[in-house]
Each structure stands twice: as C-alpha cells, then as structure tokens.
C-alpha cells in the first residue's frame, strides 16, 4: 500500500481482505466491476458463459479489500465479495504469487 | 357478514339517485373513493365526501379520471372496498385502468351516470349510450358485470349488490345509471345495518411460502386474494401473467390468463344474470328495457295492452352478462322484441344476436337529452305485433 | 491442507442464492431483461442494500412501477409489487397509501413514465405531499419502446422520433419536483452507488413526497443512437462530469447534452406534513369528536 505520508495509526488499522465471488452465468460482461474496482483485482476473462458473455475473473489474488464496490455496482447481481480471514487471505496471496511466476 | 353500521343511514329519505347511490356506497362498507367531478355524477362523491370522515373512510379528489381509477385499483389491493364515479367522458378516460382492474382481478365498482354523448355531448341531460362501452370499453378480451338501476331506491339496493358481486368474482363492476335516475328525487328506504348483507374481502388462508396470487383452486375459478402489506410478497401485473403473477410472453399463457378472465364470468353467467320478467307467458311482443326507459315504457306498454296486444316485459337489472338464455327461449315463442333505449341501438344488438332471426328485434332509438315519448314505444310494439 | 488446495476448494461454484441481496430479489426470474451495461440493475441493488441496512419491516414495503425498462423493477423485487399502467404508478401508489396508511410505498419508474404520461400525476402528488418515495431512473429516453424522445432528452440528442436531434427543451426534474412541493429532492447518477444507497436510506424513513432522480446509462438506445459507446462509457462520463453541489438552487441544474451533471441533495424538508397528516389535523379541527380517521391498518372491513 503506497501512502504519500505515513498515517499515524498505520500499526492499529488492519486492511480488510476479501474474496470475490462471481456468479458467472448471470454476468452480462458489462465491465463495470473491472473498471471501478479500486484495487484493479478483476479483468474480463477469455471464457464465455452460457449466454456468450465474458464474465470477470480475479487477476490479483489477495488484493481484494472487501470494499463491496463490485457488488454494489453490478447491475446483474452477479458478483459480490465476502470477508476473508488473515490466513485465507495469505492463501490467496500465495496463489497470486504462483500465477505471477508462471 | 352484516355491513359496518357506521355507514348506514337507516330510515326513510327523500333522495335523488346520485345521493342514494352514494348512500349505497357507504352502506356497502366501501371506505375508499377517488373521484373527479363531472356532471351529472358529482353529487355522488359530494355526498360521500361529507359523510366519509365520520366512518373511517377516505375520499380524495384526484387530478383526473385516470388517476381516480388508478387510485381505486391501488386502494383495492389493500383489501379496502374502493369505487369511483364518473360520466361518459370520464368513463372513456378510465378505460385503461378498468382494463388493469380486470387483468389484475381487482374488485371495484365504477359508477357511470350516463349523459348525452359522444364527447362533451349534453352534460346535464340524460342518455344511455355507454351500455356497449361498459362491456367493450377497454381493449382486449375480458368480461365484467354491469347493472342498471331504474330508481333512486334501486340505485341504493343495487349498489350493495354491485360491491358483493365484485368481491365474489374479483371483477370491476360497471354501475350504469343515467342522469334521469341520478337527478330524480324519490323516497328511498334504507334498512337497518343488520339487514344489509355484504361480502367482505376474503383473504387467502395459505401461508406466504405456499401462495401464488393467480393460482386457481380445483373447486373454484377465482384466485385467492392477499392484501398488500401482509407479507405475501406477491407480484401483480397488467402484463399477461401466469399463476405466479409473473409476466410471460406466450400464446399458451395468453390462453390461460385471458381465457380465465372471460370464463370466470361466462361460466357463472347463470348465477349472475338478473332481470325482472312480467307477463311473458303467451306474449306476442316482449319489451326489453333497462334504467329510466323501463319506467317510461310502462305507458307505451299499457297503451298496447289496451289495444289487445299481449305484451311481456323483460327489465334488465344486470345488463352484462346479458341474459342470452332467456332471450333465446323467448325468441322462439314471440313475434318480436321491442328495445327502447336512449341511444341509437346498443342493447338491441344483443337482443338481435340472441333472437337469431327467429323473432324480429325492433329498436326505439333516442339520441339522448330526454326520455322517450311513450307513443313511439307504443307504435313500435304495435309494429312488432304484426 | 496446503494453502494451494485451500484456495482451490474455495473456487467452488458460487450459488445465486448466496448473493447478499438475494432475499430482496426474485431469484427465480434472474437473469433479468435489462441490457448489458444498463444502469437500472445497479439502482435496484442500491435500493435493496438500503432496505437491508435500514432493517425496516419489509412486509410493509410495497413497490409500484409503471411501464418501461425501469417499470420492470416491480417484477424483480421480492416484495409486494405492482406493475401498473403507463404513467399511473403514482396515483396507484396514492391509492395504496390511502387504503392502508401504514404501508411504505415506493414508486420505481422511468423518466418517460413519470414525467411524460405521468407528469400530471407527478405534480399533483407532489403538491398534495402524498407520502410516497418516487425513484425516477432517468436514462433520457423511452428505452423499452425503442428509443424515442423523452421529456428529459437533452437538446440536440438523437432519438428515434427526433432523428435530427432534439429541439424541445427538456425537463429539469429536481426543479419540477421541488417547485411542486416535494419534501426531499436529490439527484445522483448510477455511478454514485454509495451516495445513492445513502439517499435511499434517508428518504425511506422520511415522510412526504420524496423524489430521487438517478441518471443511469442506457446503452442500447440512448448511447448507441448518440454514438456515445456503451453504458460503461456513459459511466465514465458521469465519473468525469458529475459535480456534487448539495443544496444548490434547483433552477440551475439543467442537463445539457454531454455536459456536466449536477448531483446532490437539493431539498430536505423534514418538517413538511403529509397529505394524511394534513387531512387528520384538518378534520380533527373542523369535525372534532365526530371525525373517525381510517386506521393505519387500512379500510379492510372484515368479521
């Protein structure tokens, strides 16, 4: 996390972690979630769902902060985020590292 | 059940038809009225607006007739009996939402105090030219019930029946008065509340998770009702819908949905139809009338009887559904039907259709603005007897 | 279990019913008919979230819609919902509210439905202070019928009935609502999801005629005919051109074609009395003991 100045209570504040749950069959590929995720966690995937749309996929595991913006902005009720505990978040981050190295 | 006594002005009164109709509305335990002023019907709501605050009723004068009808349909969905009042031009405006009430199967009553038409016509003078419009006014296929009182007393009595029928069949009921009955002052006897039977809005006993708004029981062709706000979370739409109330765009759904709207009245027509029959046995001519014309025709009928013509009378109390069966039966036995009405021929088309050529159907039209000269009716009867 | 396997177990098929607002939506009717990049779904999501946050009695919340794309909202919400005739959602809602005053009635409809054919009902309901919340989703066009000119279509915008560009000045809806007597007037875009949710939360517990206009993208008709891209491009436009100016005079917030959109809360009058309150107070004063008000449970007569 880059700060232009260091907040005084940085040690006390924990950044939440989230997991993105995508209901691929309901997605209409509008791209709102991809565009407006503040952490850039999502991208439209290459796969098609049954209706021929490209649903999003998580490309930055471990970066989701469970802000729920994707959930709020999705017009199709096709995506939401849930809170992850620290250990699960570490698992996500590990997965991301593995993907980056591939 | 017995009606709520708060609305019943028991006693013998000297009232005009509009006021009597208003009293009937209150006596029927209707507690929501939305209206827009139009001559000659305004007195109905004026009476109601004066008395409603004493009995827990809400009257609102809306900005136009379309809003009035929409508000009536909305209020009916809270379980409250609701009605509105208008005349010809307003009736035309209300048609869209009458169709909505028919499609959503909403019980309500629409009073049309008919006047000379078309368009602005004769605002202060009588007519009976909306009879076909009552049946066919809104677009699409649907059936509803329509009644025609002949006197202020009947305006009161039939109003109770109008609300009851609308509850039983979940259908909008068109109460077709005419300006003559509306503005005629006569004795009206309002009985005590214990003697007035009303059909209350019956709610479903199913639990919310088992309830679908338009599901039909095997025993009944009327869906069960749930009030908005009772937690049933139902959806009702003016689109063609299935038993769940969800819109579905298919011919099959249209068959089911619209077929049901039509069948629920047609299949029960025998129970609904109501008319007064007099001296039809062995009659040469049967006069078919309704509303104020039924009283005017009396003199013409008496004149014909004096001439030795056997004249029977069928006075339609419920005009839609039309008493097809009886007219068909009589058509085989009489020489002709005479149908005087204050229009250029509307109900006569039904009589003609049912007679199917086996008896003549002679109309006595009148464009509106007054009632018939009884001589014209007499002459028509004489002509029909030949 | 290794962290990799843990992560794999998590990627099981996400069930539709797990979505946080699933209880508010008729899941058996999903996916809905709105186009990809249409903003209406977003507004519905904000409304559902607002209901969830407020924890009000959902049994008493009733939705009324008119005809149009936004009019389909009633069909998708898992509440008592009515899909009525074109323009008549507001008087229908008036009937519901007066027939059972304890109901919390929301009218959810579009710009064509509410300000076109429904214009008369809109202004009179505001005038009377009818106690309903009107959520008007403004996509500047009659979308459902194929993209015709609407009372809100900006000047110069192209539509199917104004193929050379609109020359009729459009409505300034917050100004219309405020001048007619609304007690709460706000405008947001579909992009302002958190502020929209907050506005809904505020308005749902206020009384009086509350009006919230949400500018939402219409990709298939408005954006396409005016060569503005997709709904995403329109959202990006809102991002760059929406300005929040709370409390500004509603006279000055017209929307010109592809120009800045002024958002915010413009009127918030908590003191205003509603139609029913005025009726009660008046009859009590004039009729005294003889006045029998309709109870909040409504006028349903039963044994």
Average pLDDT rounded to a whole number, residues A67-87: 90
User: A75–C194: do the CB atoms touch at under 8 Å?
Assistant: no
* Distance separating alpha carbons of residues C179 and B101, to the nearest angstrom: 33
Nearest in space to A25 (alpha carbons), one of B232, C133, C114, C19: C19
Average pLDDT rounded to a whole number, residues C96-121: 97
> Which three-class secondary structure string do you get for chain A?
CCCCCCCCCCCCCCCCEEEEEECHHHCCCCCHHHHHCCCCCEEECCCCCCCCCCCEEECCCCCCCCCCHHHHHCCCCCEEEEEECHHHHHHHHHHHHHHHHC
**Segments forming the whole domain that contains residue B378:** 274-385
- Chain C residues in contact with A67 by the CB 8 A cut-off are none
Q: Pull the structure tokens for residue C46.
A: 């904000």
C-alpha torsion sign, points B18, B19, B20, B22: positive
Q: Examine the fold and report which residue of B172, B195, B218 is the final residue of a domain before the chain moves on.
A: B195
A7 within domain boundaries: no
Distance of CA B55 to the CA centre of its chain: 25
* CB-closest option in C79, C99, C121 to B63: C121
Same domain flag for B165 and B285: no
First CA to last CA across chain A, in angstroms? Answer: 24
Q: Pull the structure tokens for residue B361.
A: 């159907």
What pLDDT, on a 0 to 100 scale, did the predictor assign at position C12?
Answer: 60
B43 sits in which H/E element: helix B42-51
Interface of C with B in 212-251 (CB under 8 A): none
What is Dmax (Cα atoms) for chain C?
79
CATH architecture of the domain with residue range C22-290: 3-Layer(aba) Sandwich (3.40)
pLDDT higher than threshold 50 for residue C5: no
User: B74–C82: do the CB atoms touch at under 8 Å?
Assistant: yes
Q: Looking at chain C, which runs of residues are DSSP E strands?
A: 61-65, 80-83, 104-110, 133-138, 184-189, 210-215, 242-244, 261-268
* Distance separating alpha carbons of residues C127 and C181, to the nearest angstrom: 5
Q: How far is C138 from chain A (nearest CA, A)?
A: 15
Q: Examine the fold and report which residue of B167, B195, B223 is the final residue of a domain before the chain moves on.
A: B195
Chain A's closest residue to C15, CA to CA, is A23
What pLDDT, on a 0 to 100 scale, did the predictor assign at position C8?
Answer: 45
What pLDDT, on a 0 to 100 scale, did the predictor assign at position A13?
Answer: 84
User: B54–C95: do the CB atoms touch at under 8 Å?
Assistant: no
User: C36–A30: do the CB atoms touch at under 8 Å?
Assistant: yes
| B53, B68, B93, best to mutate vs chain C, most C CBs in 10 Å | B53
B123 within domain boundaries: yes
* Distance separating alpha carbons of residues A5 and A15, to the nearest angstrom: 17
DSSP C215-272: E---IIIIIHHTT---HHHHHHHHHHHEEE-TT--GGG----TTS-EEEEEEEE-TTP
B369 within domain boundaries: yes
User: A35–C236: do the CB atoms touch at under 8 Å?
Assistant: yes
What pLDDT, on a 0 to 100 scale, did the predictor assign at position C94?
Answer: 97
How does DSSP classify residue B150? Answer: S
- Chain C residues in contact with A24 by the CB 8 A cut-off are 14
User: A73–C191: do the CB atoms touch at under 8 Å?
Assistant: yes
Q: Are B321 and B272 a contacting pair, CB within 8 Å? A: yes
B142 within domain boundaries: yes
Task: Give the pLDDT confidence of B253-263 residue by residue, as tens digits.
Answer: 999 999 999 99
* Distance separating alpha carbons of residues C203 and C54, to the nearest angstrom: 11
Q: Examine the fold and report which residue of B195, B218, B243 is the final residue of a domain before the chain moves on.
A: B195
Chains A and C touch (3+ CB pairs under 8 A): yes
B60 within domain boundaries: yes
A12 within domain boundaries: no
Average pLDDT rounded to a whole number, residues C93-102: 97
State how many domains chain A has.
Answer: 1
| A18, A75, A80, best to mutate vs chain C, most C CBs in 10 Å | A75
B239 within domain boundaries: no
pLDDT higher than threshold 60 for residue C9: no
- Chain C residues in contact with B228 by the CB 8 A cut-off are 62, 80, 82, 96, 100, 103
B61 within domain boundaries: yes
Average pLDDT rounded to a whole number, residues C133-156: 96
CATH number, domain containing residue A70: 3.30.70.20
pLDDT higher than threshold 60 for residue C2: no
* Distance separating alpha carbons of residues C180 and B231, to the nearest angstrom: 33
User: A74–C230: do the CB atoms touch at under 8 Å?
Assistant: no
What pLDDT, on a 0 to 100 scale, did the predictor assign at position C7?
Answer: 46
CATH number, domain containing residue B336: 3.40.50.920
pTM, to two decimals: 0.94
CATH number, domain containing residue B145: 3.40.50.970
Q: Are B359 and B334 a contacting pair, CB within 8 Å? A: yes
Q: Does any CB of chain A come closer than 8 Å to the CB of residue C292?
A: no
Average pLDDT rounded to a whole number, residues A68-95: 83
A26 within domain boundaries: yes
- Chain C residues in contact with B102 by the CB 8 A cut-off are none
Report the half-sphere exposure of C183 (CA within 13 A, side-chain side). Answer: 23
User: C300–B60: do the CB atoms touch at under 8 Å?
Assistant: no
Per-residue pLDDT band at A87 (split at 50, 70, 90): low
* Distance separating alpha carbons of residues B49 and B116, to the nearest angstrom: 26
Interface of B with C in 148-187 (CB under 8 A): none
B218 within domain boundaries: no
Distance of CA B232 to the CA centre of its chain: 31
User: C45–A72: do the CB atoms touch at under 8 Å?
Assistant: yes
Mutual angle of helices C89-99 and B65-76, in 10-degree steps:
50
Interface of C with A in 23-52 (CB under 8 A): 25, 30-32, 34-42, 44-46, 49
Nearest in space to B340 (alpha carbons), one of B317, B308, B315, B319: B315
Strands C210-215 and C104-110: unpaired
Per-residue pLDDT band at A88 (split at 50, 70, 90): low
User: B74–C93: do the CB atoms touch at under 8 Å?
Assistant: yes
Q: Pull the structure tokens for residue B271.
A: 């129970």
Give partners of A (≥3 CB pairs < 8 A). Answer: C
DSSP B187-199: EEEE--GGG-B--
Name, in order, each residue with C-beta under 8 angstroms of B306's C-beta and a sequence gap of 6 or more. none
Q: How far is B177 from chain C (nearest CA, A)?
A: 25
What pLDDT, on a 0 to 100 scale, did the predictor assign at position B151?
Answer: 97
Average pLDDT rounded to a whole number, residues B203-219: 91
* Distance separating alpha carbons of residues B166 and B187, to the nearest angstrom: 27
- Chain A residues in contact with C19 by the CB 8 A cut-off are 23, 71, 77, 80
- Chain C residues in contact with A49 by the CB 8 A cut-off are none
Task: Give the pLDDT confidence of A26-61 residue by residue, as tens digits.
Answer: 999 999 999 999 999 999 999 999 999 999 999 998
Interface of C with B in 257-296 (CB under 8 A): 279, 283, 287, 290-295
CB pairs under 8 A between B and C: 188
Chain C's closest residue to A54, CA to CA, is C36
How does DSSP classify residue C159? Answer: -
User: A19–C10: do the CB atoms touch at under 8 Å?
Assistant: yes
A23 within domain boundaries: yes
Sort residue B16 into left (φ over 0), alpha (ψ -120 to 50) or beta: beta
Chain C's closest residue to A73, CA to CA, is C42
**Segments forming the whole domain that contains residue A63:** 17-101
- Chain B residues in contact with C103 by the CB 8 A cut-off are 78, 228-229
State how many domains chain B has.
Answer: 2
Average pLDDT rounded to a whole number, residues B217-233: 90
Task: Give the pLDDT confidence of B298-352 residue by residue, as tens digits.
Answer: 999 999 999 999 999 999 999 999 999 999 999 999 999 999 999 999 999 999 9
pLDDT higher than threshold 50 for residue B201: yes
């Amino acid at each position: 996390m880059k700060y232009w100045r260091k907040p005084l209570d940085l040690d006390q504040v924990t950044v939440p972690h989230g997991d993105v749950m995508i209901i691929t069959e309901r997605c209409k590929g509008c791209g709102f979630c991809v565009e407006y995720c503040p952490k850039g966690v999502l991208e439209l995937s290459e796969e098609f769902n049954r209706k021929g749309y490209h649903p999003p996929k998580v490309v930055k595991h471990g970066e989701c902060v469970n802000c729920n913006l994707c959930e709020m902005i999705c017009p199709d009720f096709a995506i939401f985020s849930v809170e992850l505990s620290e250990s699960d978040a570490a698992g996500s981050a590990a997965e991301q590292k593995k993907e980056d190295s591939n | 059940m017995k009606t709520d006594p708060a609305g019943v002005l028991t006693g013998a009164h000297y009232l005009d038809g509009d006021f009597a109709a208003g009293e009937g509305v209150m006596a029927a335990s209707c507690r929501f009225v939305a209206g827009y002023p139009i001559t000659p019907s305004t007195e109905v709501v004026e009476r109601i607006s004066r008395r409603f605050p004493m009995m827990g009723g809400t009257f609102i004068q809306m900005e136009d007739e379309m809003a009035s009808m929409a508000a009536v349909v909305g209020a009916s969905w809270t379980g409250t009996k609701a009605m509105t009042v208008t005349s010809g031009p307003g009736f035309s405006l209300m048609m869209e939402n009458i169709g909505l009430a028919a499609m959503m199967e909403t019980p309500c009553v629409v009073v049309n105090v008919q006047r000379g038409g078309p368009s602005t016509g004769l605002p202060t003078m009588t007519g009976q030219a909306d009879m076909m419009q009552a049946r066919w006014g809104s677009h699409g296929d649907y059936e509803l019930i329509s009644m025609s009182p002949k006197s202020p007393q009947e305006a009161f009595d039939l109003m109770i029946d109008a609300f009851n029928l609308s509850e039983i069949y979940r259908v909008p009921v068109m109460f077709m008065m005419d300006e003559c009955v509306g503005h005629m002052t006569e004795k009206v006897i309002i009985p005590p509340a214990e003697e007035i039977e009303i059909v209350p809005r019956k709610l479903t006993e199913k639990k919310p998770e088992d309830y679908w708004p338009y599901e039909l029981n095997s025993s009944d062709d009327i869906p069960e009702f749930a009030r908005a706000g009772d937690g049933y979370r139902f959806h009702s739409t003016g689109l063609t819908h299935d038993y769940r109330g969800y819109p579905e765009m298919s011919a099959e759904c249209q068959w089911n949905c619209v077929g049901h709207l039509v069948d629920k009245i047609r299949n029960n027509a025998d129970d609904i139809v109501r008319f007064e029959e007099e001296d039809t046995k062995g009659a040469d001519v049967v006069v078919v009338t309704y509303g104020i014309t039924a009283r005017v025709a009396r003199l013409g009928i008496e004149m014909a009887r004096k001439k030795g013509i056997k004249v029977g009378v069928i006075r339609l109390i419920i005009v839609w559904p039309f008493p097809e069966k009886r007219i068909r039966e009589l058509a085989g036995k009489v020489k002709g039907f005479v149908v005087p009405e204050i229009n250029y021929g509307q109900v006569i088309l039904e009589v003609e259709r049912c007679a199917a050529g086996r008896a003549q159907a002679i109309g006595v039209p009148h464009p509106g603005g007054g009632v018939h000269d009884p001589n014209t009716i007499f002459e028509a009867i004489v002509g029909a007897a030949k | 279990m290794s962290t990799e396997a843990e992560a794999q177990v998590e990627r099981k098929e996400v069930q539709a019913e797990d979505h946080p607002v699933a209880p508010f939506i008729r899941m058996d009717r999903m996916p809905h008919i709105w186009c990809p990049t249409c903003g209406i779904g977003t507004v519905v999501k904000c409304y559902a979230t607002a209901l969830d946050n407020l924890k009000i009695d959902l049994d008493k919340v009733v939705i009324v819609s008119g005809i149009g794309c936004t009019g389909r909202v009633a069909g998708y919400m898992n509440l008592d919902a009515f899909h009525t005739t074109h323009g008549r959602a507001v008087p229908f809602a008036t009937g519901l509210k007066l027939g059972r005053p304890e109901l919390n009635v929301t009218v959810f409809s579009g710009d064509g439905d509410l300000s076109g054919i429904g214009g008369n009902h809109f202004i009179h309901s505001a005038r009377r202070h009818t106690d309903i919340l009107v959520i008007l989703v403004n996509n500047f066009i009659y979308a459902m019928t194929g993209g015709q000119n609407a009372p809100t279509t900006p000047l110069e915008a192209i539509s199917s009935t104004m193929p050379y560009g609109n020359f009729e000045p459009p409505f300034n809806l917050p100004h219309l609502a405020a001048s007619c007597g609304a007690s709460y007037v706000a405008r947001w875009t579909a992009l302002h999801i958190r502020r929209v949710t907050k506005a809904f939360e505020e308005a749902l517990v206020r009384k009086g005629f509350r009006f919230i206009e949400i500018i939402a993208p219409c990709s298939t008709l408005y954006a396409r005919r005016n060569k503005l891209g997709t709904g995403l491009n329109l959202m990006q436009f809102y991002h760059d051109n929406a300005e929040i100016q709370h409390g500004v005079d509603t006279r000055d917030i017209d929307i010109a074609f592809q120009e800045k959109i002024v958002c915010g809360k413009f009127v918030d009058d908590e003191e205003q009395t509603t139609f029913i309150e005025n009726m009660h107070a008046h009859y009590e004063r004039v009729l005294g003991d003889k006045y029998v008000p309709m109870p909040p449970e409504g006028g349903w007569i039963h044994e």
